[in-house]
Every structure is written in C-alpha cells, then in structure tokens.
C-alpha cells in the first residue's frame, strides 16, 4: 500500500548471517539434544494399512466430496504431489502414456503435468506419474474413474466440450463450487485431516456441507 517505506529487514547482512549460522548448526544441535532421528523420515508417516483405511474412509460415504477427497489423497500419495499442485491441476493436464514391455497386458501410466508449483515459479514443465495398483481399494486410477463418473453421470455436470481448447482447458481436476473453480486450501486441509484421523462419517458429511 506504500505506507511503510522502511527497508525489508531480511535484506540486512546481520540477519542473513544469523539465518545461515542457524542452518549450519541445526544438525549438530539435534545430535546434542538426542532428538528422535525418525522424525521427518518414512518412519514418521503412514503405512500401507493406513493408506487403505484413509481410502476406505473417503469411499464409504459415496458423495462428491468423499470421492473428490479420495482422489486428492491417492494422487498425492502416488505422485508425491503437494496440495497446491492438486488444487491447481486441470483436466487438460491429464494424459495417458503406454509403458512398453511391462508385462503380458497393456500398461498405461497416468501422467499429470505441472507448469507452476511451490518450487517451480518459472513455468518449468514437471510431471507426476501413477499406474494402476494391484489393490483396487488404494488405486489412484480407480479413484479418478469413480470421481469422474460421479461428476459427469451422477450429479450430471456437463461433459467438457472438446471442440475447442478454450471450452475445455480451464476445467479443474479437483473442482470446487463450479467446474472451473478449484477447492480452497481450507477445504482440502479439513478433508485430509479428517481422513487421517478417522473421524466418524456423520461428522465428515456435516462438515463438508
């Protein structure tokens, strides 16, 4: 707003030196304090049983919000995607790519492309990849199929007009109030928090209204 004309304190040499020193001594401080070395590693997350429980939690209500949250969770798990990546993803960012010589049957990889994210502000093309899981209950491709079927065949969202790029390229993958509006960070956070904590289904449905 042009009210504060003072310099940004982060531009000072003293603060930059302090931050650099903190980064350099963090590891040694953790060793001196004998902190749990499992924090921030794979041991500090969820296991395959937890993935199944969370996926089932989202599947059972059979609503648009629950199928959307299930897809959101499984895409993030399989592609290591950030929440921002999935909120900004469009249907036009999705495509299939056949992986050759991967077995007796056809193997299609689900590709989700990104051009902007938390660590990519320059428009660099990046991708997330997922393939069908042998357990359909935690399969991201299965979650995508259920979600799109519910959108276009159950709640009767108009199917994208593929006659031109302008008419179909702005449709969100994880949609909010409209097809071209993504869910908010708050909606996404609440859904993931409820799924990871295993809240009762009635509570989940009431908070999503």
Query: How many other C-beta atoms lie within 10 A of the C-beta of residue 99?
Result: 12
Q: Which domain does 168 fall in, by range? A: 48-91+134-208
In a domain, 27, yes or no: no
In a domain, 17, yes or no: no
In a domain, 164, yes or no: yes
Residue 113 pairs with which residues in a beta bridge? 127
Task: Identify how many contiguous H helices and E strands the chain contains and give both numbers.
Answer: 7, 3
Please list the pLDDT of the chain residue by residue as tens digits (209 residues). Answer: 778 888 777 777 888 888 888 888 888 888 888 887 777 666 667 788 888 999 999 999 999 999 999 999 999 899 888 888 888 888 988 988 888 888 788 888 999 987 776 776 776 788 889 988 989 999 999 999 999 999 999 999 999 888 888 888 889 999 988 999 988 999 888 888 877 665 444 444 444 44
Which of 86, 59, 85, 82 lies closest to 70 in space, CA to CA?
Answer: 59
In a domain, 31, yes or no: no
Q: Sort 190 into a burial class: Cβ within 10 Å, 0-12 / 13-18 / 19+.
A: middle
Rounded to whole angstroms, how far apart are CA atoms 145 and 143? Answer: 5
In a domain, 78, yes or no: yes
Per-residue pLDDT at 69: 93
Helices of type H across 121-182:
140-149
Per-residue pLDDT at 59: 93
Per-residue pLDDT at 204: 42
Our count of domains for the chain comes to 1
In a domain, 145, yes or no: yes
In a domain, 175, yes or no: yes
In a domain, 36, yes or no: no
Rounded to whole angstroms, how far apart are CA atoms 141 and 55? Answer: 13
Per-residue pLDDT at 199: 47
């Amino acid at each position: 707003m042009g009210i504060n004309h003072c310099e940004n304190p982060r531009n000072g040499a003293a603060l930059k030196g302090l931050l650099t020193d903190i980064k350099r001594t963090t590891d040694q401080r953790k060793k001196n304090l004998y902190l749990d070395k499992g924090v921030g590693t794979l041991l500090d997350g969820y296991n395959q049983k937890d993935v199944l429980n969370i996926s089932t939690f989202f599947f059972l209500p059979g609503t648009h919000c629950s199928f959307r949250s299930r897809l959101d969770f499984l895409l993030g798990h399989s592609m290591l995607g950030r929440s921002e990546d999935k909120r900004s993803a469009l249907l036009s960012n999705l495509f299939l790519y056949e992986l050759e010589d991967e077995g007796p049957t056809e193997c299609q990889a689900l590709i989700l492309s990104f051009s902007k994210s938390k660590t990519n502000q320059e428009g660099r093309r990046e991708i997330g990849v997922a393939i069908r899981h042998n357990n359909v209950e935690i399969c991201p491709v299965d979650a995508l199929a259920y979600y799109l079927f519910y959108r276009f065949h159950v709640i009767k969202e108009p199917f994208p007009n593929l006659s031109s790029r302008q008419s179909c390229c702005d449709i969100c993958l994880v949609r909010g109030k409209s097809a071209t509006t993504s869910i908010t960070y708050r909606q996404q956070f609440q859904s993931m928090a409820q799924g990871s904590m295993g809240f009762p289904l009635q509570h989940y449905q009431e908070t999503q209204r």
